[in-house]
Structure 1
Amino acid sequence: MNRQVQVHASLFLVALIYGSNYSIAKEVMPEYVGPFGLIVIRVVSAALFFGIFSRFVVQEKIVGRADNLRVILCGITGVAVNQLCFFAGLNLTAPINAALLMVIVPVVVLIFSAILLKERVGKRKISGILLACTGALLLIYNSRGESTTGNIWGDLLIILNATSFGMYLVLVKPLMQKYKAITIVSRIFTVGAVLVVPFGWQQLLTPDYSAFPVSIWLALVFMVFAVTILAYLLNTWALRYANPSLVGAYIYLQPVMAILIAVFMGKDVFTLEKALYALLIFAGVYLVSRTRQHAVPKVGSEV
């Protein structure tokens, strides 16, 4: 298997893992584990893994008050707020809604880059922002009715999650240019773990784990090792060899996988209205990504 095939296989597997997470997490929440309890399991497990990996393999330290303060901000936006809003939102809304709304992350990154980094925003980028936001707002508005599979509060939490993650991607960029990725990830997961434990500790202790069926244990293992650890390692390796246009193309695969899996598992229904809103969101993200390929964030690249 040549290197190019390996890169495509890695990026496809990452998209498949993230796309599966929406429906698999719905299997666990809230019947077996509450959303915040699930976050504690995932974040603390990841913090331990990446912390050990960083300490014994990379052995790199973050120096200076400014960089350490930025790490704390990244832990707040990229792990704590990001994860709390994502799982709380997913617990309320439909998998397809969550997957489609997460596609706006590149748009959020562009907005924060313009505000914080003073990047220039041209007419095409503004058109992309307006298209994507229109699609997202219509999707949220459509979630008000009782006959819909979405939930307006869940959708708004997913938007807040995407906003927090977009801010994280802007904040973390200077750190990624100075330190190894595994060093940054291990530190921000440590910060995130400290912050999410108070929110999810009670939900973590409530379930009767001995009564969990094998399928739920497999779902928990999948969310900890596949979604958090394996996807991160595959994504990090692939990005060393993938060009920006290839990474940009895979932006659109994750929500497609999420839709197919959600429909196949009977977790959601893909309606004509959602298809139209998806086209608006995809078109907007395409315009934004097309004009700034050097900094396209991969959708679903959770930390």
Structure 2
Amino acid sequence: MGGGDTLKAHVGMALVQLFFGGYQVLTKVALNVGVNQLVFCFYRVSLAFIILAPIAFFLERRTRPPITKKLLLSFFFLGLTGIFGNQLLFLIGLNYTNPTYAAAVQPAVPVFTFLFTVIMGIERVNLLRYEGLAKVGGTIVCVSGAILMVFYRGPALIGDEEMENVAQIKISARGQQEASGWLINSLHNLGLDNFQLGVIFLIGNTCCMAAFLAIQAPVLKKYPANLSVTAYSFFFGVVLMVIASLFMVHESSDWILTQSEILAIVYAGTIASALNYAIVSWSNKILGPAMVSLYKPLQPVFSSLLSQIFLGTPIYLGSIIGGSLIIAGLYIVTWASYREKQATLGVTPHASSVSEPLIHEKSSDQGGHISSGSSSIS
């Protein structure tokens, strides 16, 4: 790839994080109006599938391998974790917190992916090398930051806390009724308030995305058609949304959207899903997953700025400390993975004694597909 494509990929990845920041702010506005989270997810996933399916069909019609039952089962689990669980938990978490916290937790996705890949045997950690120790230490730092954000909020350092309290009061009766479900009540009985529950749901969102990436890596080795894998994942996500809606959405009025809700869904389906997935996939082929993942910490910065500008959301001490720990842990793990990748390619003299990199890449004779797929999507 030429230098022009490299520059475009860097600019593209920065724009991806900006687009995600905008998604979080727009979605928070829709949630405050009272949109049903499951309905929102259904419309978003359906729109993204409608966009991705024909593009994948025509662009990869000559490179798609035959579909097997095992692949279909893998696509189902991709839809369950990366589309259904990931997006629904994110919206519930965002509803109880704010865009700043929602974005601050997202950099934990690569670290939780590392944990799952170790458990599944995809990733090997050599504790006798600095890189292996850095991976474990960075993971601990990142998880500690996420836990801190749950249990410590602290004073508002930027913005007016009263404005957020007023915004929370404005949540509609429809949203309040949804929040009184058995799961929320059960968690409240454990002594957790709404804000702590929101952060827990956001952490669950990152775990689902990490599981999605861990499952996706071996799938892409057998089915090296990135857009098609993504489209199949969205298809099963739509199916699961429909099934869940039959049991959880009881009012027909929940499917009727306001103007702000329609705007948020159109943005989420086209920009935050379809476009961002395409940019990340293309940038991965040029920069590699290690460099692409370095842009993830920009998301909290963009989200904090946009939510402060458009929503007046305050920035708390807990979000700064916890978010800083998450970002620090991410960089430590990413640095160690990059060092291992360089060693594997023979750049360093101890290449033969290190473990494999965190995110594996396929060789060029397989078309240059990145086995991690969209490794930084929410």
Same fold (TM over 0.5): yes
Matched-pair contact (CA < 8 Å) for 1:140–1:155:
yes
Equivalent in the alignment of 2:217: 173
Instruction: Tell whether 2:28 aligns with 1:26.
Output: yes
Q: Residue in 2 aligned with 1:129?
A: 139
Greater shift in the superposed pair: 18-27 or 262-271: 262-271
The counterpart of 1:9, out of the listed 8, 11, 19, is 11
The whole-number CA distance in structure 2 between the counterparts of 1:100 and 1:299 is 17
Give the whole-Å Cα distance in 2 for the aligned partners of 1:204 and 1:51: 30
**Which of structures 1 and 2 has the bigger CA Rg?**
2
Q: Does residue 301 of the first structure (1) align with residue 301 of the second (2)?
A: no
State how far apart, in whole Å, the 2-side matches of 1:143 and 1:194 are. 37
> What is the 5 A alignment of 1:61-210?
62-117=66-121, 119-121=123-125, 122-143=132-153, 151-177=195-221, 178-200=223-245, 202=249, 205-207=252-254, 209=256
Cα 1:47–1:130, aligned 2, differ >3 Å: closer, same or farther?
Answer: same
Q: Residues 2, 205 of structure 1: CA spacing in aligned structure 2 closer, same or farther, 3 A cutoff?
A: farther
Q: Deviations over 1:129-162 (max 9, x none)?
A: 11111111111002599x7967111111111111
One-letter amino acid of the counterpart of residue 21, structure 1? Y
Deviation digits for residues 216-235 of structure 1 (CA, Å, limit 9, x no counterpart): 43333211111111111122
Which secondary structure state, in structure 2, belongs to the residue aligned with residue 251 of structure 1? coil
Whole-angstrom distance in 1 between the partners of 2:196 and 2:375 = 22
The whole-number CA distance in structure 1 between the counterparts of 2:30 and 2:322 is 28
Residue pair 2:110, 2:293 contacting (<8 A) in 1 also: no
Q: Which SS does the other structure have where 1:291 is aligned?
A: helix
Q: Any idea what the Cα deviations from partners look like across 1:168-201, whole Å, max 9, x if unmatched?
A: 1010012223321111011111111000123346
Computed over aligned residues only, the root mean square deviation of the Cα atoms, in angstroms, reads: 2.6
Q: Structure 2 counterpart of 1:284, which letter?
A: G
How far the C-alpha of 1:115 sits from its partner, in A, is 0.3
Question: Which residue of the other structure, out of 282, 290, 301, is the alignment partner of 2:327?
Answer: 282
Give the secondary structure class of the aligned counterpart of 2:208.
helix
The separation in 1 between residues aligned to 2:46 and 2:110, in whole angstroms, is 27
Instruction: Describe the SS at the equivalent of 1:107.
Output: helix
How many residues matched? 299
Task: Tell me the TM-score normalised to structure 1 length.
Answer: 0.89
- Normalised to the residue count of structure 2, the TM-score between the two structures is 0.72
Offset of residue 251 of structure 1 = 2.0
Post-superposition shift, 1:49? 2.1
* SS at 1:119 equivalent: coil
- Given that residues 106 and 296 in structure 2 are in contact (C-alpha distance below 8 angstroms), is that contact kept between their aligned partners in structure 1? no
Give yes or no for contact 2:154–2:316 (8 Å, CA) kept in 1.
Answer: no
Contact 1:37–1:204 (Cα < 8 Å) also in 2: no
Q: Which runs of 5+ in 1 are unaligned?
A: none
Which residue is 1:271 aligned to? 316
Partner of 2:41: 39
Q: 1:92 to 1:128 in 2, by over 3 A?
A: same
Of 59-68 and 188-197, more deviation after overlay is shown by 59-68
Q: Can you list the C-alpha shifts for 1:101-148, whole angstroms capped at 9, x where unaligned?
A: 121111111110110025223322121111111111111002599x79
The percent of aligned pairs where both chains have the same amino acid is 24
Give a deviation string over 1:67-119, Cα, whole Å, max 9, x none. Answer: 22111111111111111111111111121111111211111111101100252
Q: Which amino acid aligns with 2:19?
A: I
- Once the two structures are superposed, residues 17-53 of structure 1 have per-residue CA deviations (whole angstroms, 9 ceiling, x without a partner) of 0121111100111425211110010011112222222
